Structure 1
Amino acid sequence: MAPPLPLILLLMIQGVYSDDGWGVTYSPLHICALRDSTVTINCSYKYPTRYKITEVFWTNTDSSDPPNLSKDSKYSERIQYLGDKQHDCSVRLTDVRHTDSHEYYFRFTTHIESGKWIGRPGVTLDVTDLQVESEGERVMEGHSVTLTCESRCSLTDTSTFIWFRNTQTLNDTNKKLILPSVRRENAGDYSCAVQGHKLTSPPRRLNVIYPPDDPVISISSSGVIVEGDSVNLTCSSESNPPVHNYSWFKEETSVGSGNIYIISNIKSDHSGEYKCKTENELGQNNSTVTLNVLYPPRNVSASISSSGVIVEGDSVTLTCSSESNPPANISWFKEEAFVGSGNIYIISNIRSDHSGQYKCKTENYLGQNNSTVTLNVLYPPRNVSASISSSGVIVEGDSVTLTCSSESNPPANISWFKEETFVGSGNIYIISNIRSDHSGQYKCKTENELGQNNSTVTLNVLYPPRNVSASISSSGVIVEGDSVNLTCSSESNPPANISWFKEEAFVGSGNIYIISNIRSDLSGQYKCKAINNHGHKYSAVTLNVLYHPRNVTASISSSGVIVEGDSVNLTCSSESNPPANISWFKEETFVGSGNIYIISNIRSDHSGQYKCKTENYLGQNNSTVTLNVLYPPRNVSASISSSGVIVEGDSVTLTCSSESNPPANISWFKEETFVGSGNIFIISNIRSDHSGQYKCKTENYLGQNNSTVTLNVLYPPRNVSTSISSSGVIVEGDSVNLTCSSESNPPVHIYSWFKENQTSSVGSGQTFIISNFNSSLSGWFYCVPQNEVGSQRSASVSITVKGGGNVLHVVAGVTAGCGGLIFILIVVFVWKCKHRPDDIRHAQDDIYSTVTNRVLETESRDSEEILYATVRFLRFKDVKTSEETEDVYENPTLQQHDASERSDVHMMEDQSVIYSTLKYK
């Protein structure tokens, strides 16, 4: 098949028209831009005035059918055409990336098919990052260093630079950052940027080295060092590189090495001056510290100037001595109350209230120590007080303690009297199990050799009501209409309040309760209650009136929680006079008699309503109780609402049923994961990942039971993909395997293969084998897997055969000289084509043969492009006129078959050159 000729026309047009009204001018031709910046390419173009521009765009491919970058997803959001359809073709590209480094061309077409132009050569765009360069990473403090902000290419725009140290902006806008005398604070991570751009270089570390500074010595404590402590002396010195040798000296004597010198169990003779010497490879330095060992007060002693016999009116001196470093402050305390300070405390004209223990407290900021001395002054009893242990509320049976307190020196003897009668001695007098006759006035008498004193207290013994009795004015035979007086009497201290009750119900108060016009429903037990603050007591009275059963109550011995196997007592109680006979019925069936009915080893069928019937000769009455027997879940069953064929998107209901009392709580689990609760669990719009085993768990407080059901969700094929066994480079005669993969449930049972634009399948099976592949089979293939639920198409893959060896060999043999002759022949042929269209079909084969023979005679490859374009042009054997040429290009079949070769060919309006070519031949 002869290749088409239009590419030759493009080459020719650029040569013919570049100086005749056609052209594209770029400014500049090379651009160096920072990544993430915005680039503007200034561009202008020209064309003959008789042409009308129909399309303009930018591209980065110098091919026959270059892509429009505005329609490329990698550029469409970033490229902006700034020009027009007249002469301005400027363009702006934002957020440039390394992948944008390329040569770019402006392309425009006119209303005539042959009027097309692409500006070659294009504009070269280089995208660069920034990087900080320096002579080295280590610099001595005081020396100079230069940092340079480098880029891979020279930036097109005049740039103002921004420098950063540890992300802080520096006051320098030059490309080179010069530090003439480096200081240690200049160390850090340096980066650079260009003003107006957001790109910043990676940081580069600058390391400033210097010898040790004056060492700083610290003591592990705050400076307060006490004997027995363990003290660490720590030496630190700022240097770069770090200090590699630390030495310790005490008064010029070496005592240790390392940055920490430890003194364990320190003593006072460790006090003195310590020196730390630091050294690195650049120099050395030293510093000193003084160690002072302190201790709290010790050997404290308090003493009295007198011999110890002190009487009122004497003058007494108390003295305190101690050892401490630093010296201690001395304070004097009497029973913890501060009374003075200093090592001597003087008491002039001493009184008895000065008696007591005196403490001298010695204290410095390291601690304290104390010593005590006792001062004793004699005096007779005073401030005598008798008291009762109780608050005054004393009840019979209590144990009461009478206490007598006084002040005296020496201590006084104490005696107790009740109405002048001696009853005991000692400061405490105890009366156990007190009685009311213990009430009265008690006196405590205190006495020593210096004198005596007394105090009295009154004891009042209270007691709750006792000897409570109730009486009826009647003889006991009471009939309806009588008037009855109930009288209550009692003893108590304080006097009691009287209340009356009938069967625990309050009916009146006062020591006499009157019932007028008595009725039978007033019969029963009456009692009076005598109460004061210390207790109460009841009396009985019984009024006997005959009546039929009433207030009948049936009850269950259990709290109501009854489980199969329990033993249950049903109890019937009632009021009646005379007592009633009791019978038990279950749903009108007699089951037993007596006030208690026992059901042993109860079952669930014992549940129901039970009635106790009470009866005497005056009448009857009933009461019912319901027996509810509980049991844990049983007969648990889980089911699916669907018939079992479940497809993605369905709504599925899982139902759980069980028997239990009380009703069970139901929970749903999927592989032990909780998913819901309730007897119904609904999954709407079901997905494949809902497949699995579901368990309904029924539970009440008596136990639990489970049932499981399996959910299987079907879905059609998905994630369908097609793969080619070959790497993509396929030569005629190869065997090609296409493999289809997908996910589905149930598995795929039918695989069908199709070729784009064909309605019928070209193969089947998961792997489709095409043997002896040739160019006629080239195209786009896809597979359609199917199961019983549905099908899904894969994306298409392209299979293209690489050209055979003969054509490539022929093209490789064209020489430069032959190429020039062929070019002239084709030019003449094209220009004359319009004038002798009938000759074209006869001449094309001859031209093709001539060109081929000339190519085979040479070994040069310089004219390969011209020959290839010629061969393509000769494919179009039906071309007669320019109008027919346009018809051929309108043919959809040819457009599809040769679009990649013909899209950027410049067809000429005047094709008389073709006629000239035939005439020359």
Structure 2
Amino acid sequence: MGRGTSARAALLLLVAILTSEAFEIEDIAPGHKVAAQIGQLLVLSCRTTGCISPNFSWRTHLDSPLGGIMSTQGPNSFLTVESVGFENEYTYFCNAHCGEEKREKRVQINIYSFPSDPVIEVSSPLVLGKPASITCRVPKVFPSEQLVLSLKKGDEVLPIGQCCDESHSSSVQTKTVNVNFTPTKEDIGKEITCLAELPIEDMEFEPKERKTTHVLNVNFGPLNTRITAFPATTLSEGEALTLSCETESHPPTKIVWKKQLADGTVQFIEESYNLHIPHTQFSSSGIYICEATNNVTKEVENRTVSITIQGPPVHPELSIFPSTSVREGEHVTLQCSVKSSPPADILIMKKSATEDAILESQDGSVHIPRVAPTDAGDYKCQVKNEFGEAQMTRALHVEYGPRNTTIVVTPSNIVKEGDTVIMICSTDGSPTPKVSWKKQLPNGGSRLVSGDGTLTLEKVQAEDMGHYECEGSNHAGKDNKAVELVVEVFSPTTRALTDAPEIFTVVEDFTTETTASNTPHQEADRHGQMENETSATPEDTAFTTYTTMKYDTVTYVVTSSDNDENGTEEIEIIIARMEEPNYVTPIIIAIAALATAAGPVAAILIYISRKAKINGSYSLVNSLKAKV
């Protein structure tokens, strides 16, 4: 019992002590003076002591709207402002009532705005040596007139002059500062720092200082571009070559390799820092260009290197102008060209079976003002340098018309009836002329008798006699040569009667010399056909008896004339074939003809004998040869 009484007494004592504590507003948070950032949340709390269930109220100076929400939790009261604005910049009062007792505490709200770090803006892109600007911007500052801005490049403070408007502003401001400068090589990679300070007296907030750092990204180049050739700029044909192009640039440059051609144009090769040629040739010689381009600065820098590939001459070319086939008399130029390093000595020669003839040339050219057939042939271009030699041969063809036409007649152009005659015509010309034979006709025309150079006449007859012309022709011209074929007609020996001959008489050509005392023959042409031995015979005419084969026909044309100049008399005979109608009558006719001709033959022999005594000897055969 004693213990229970003691506990009860202690509790009563404690309650007495608590109830005896004076009623007060113990604290107001976050303090009696608060710096509130515009736009942020603000919570004010008021806590009492000495009262279990106090009543609270909040108000502002001049009873302006609270601009917040009040809440109570036992001895605590809260005023929540979700977004601090200019309307919250007042003195707030917390009032607490406990029964009849009233307590009050106040808090001063000061607003500001310094929400973020400065923003650095650089004119883009920064190019070495070109004017640029840097801007430092601080957004949403209040009070802006108290903002302090500065710029530093590395350790160097940049002069920015007046930063901000010092007049008071009742609104949030964005403050900016600009600096103009020209980037140098020393600026590459440096840091630009923008420092912003808001030193408001009697206000406690953090941070009061903000800064931003930016690395200067200065674009430059290409600078100091250079080419390296490995193993060297002069190489032997077939060696590998590597060309490297190096440059200083930011950002890295684009490298393009090009080659300058002989005509002055530039040929694109490839885009790369290294150009590799595994097997060089003469065509690899030349001027190579490394083109470095900075796509940001738009600057281009070119460097060149001359590469020489040495070796024996290759691929000599012998050109003939205007063509390898020309006509006689035209102008011809032979031009020899070759790929060679070092340059090759050039010789142009005309080939021959014995010794090639070196022609006089200038710069690898030989000029022939008027080409002749003798200039045709093979020409050689020979090139040589210290590493070796090469050559090329080309033929020159000279076209000319037929010439030097010759005719060979075998056995002769005077042959006997029944012989075989071969007439061969040859001619010179380029291209090879086409050779043909023509025979002249009595009407003045001609007919083709052979389309090649050889004309063969088998068992010639009297009608084969005449004027034969050989013609050689090509597109460059023509050439003609003629021959007179004479067929001698002699009295054959009497043929066997088994051949069924027909005996007839012909007038034999002859020429007699006459004197002034001779009686002139009547000037008349007698043309007649002697069908048998009863044909009329001119006076003072010699006769020859001919034996003909079957189917023969003889036609006689007799011309008698006086020639005052030489006193000769001419008789012409033309022999043609005649078909025989039967096989019995030739025997009878032959016998009758022999009997009939006996008298005239004797007369002819007497006449010839007399003439021989008057004018000398006379040959009927020689007379025929002369006539033909």
Considering the TM-score relative to the shorter chain, is it more than 0.5? no
Q: Highest Rg: 1 or 2?
A: 2
Q: Which has the higher contact order (CA 8 A, sep 6+)?
A: 1
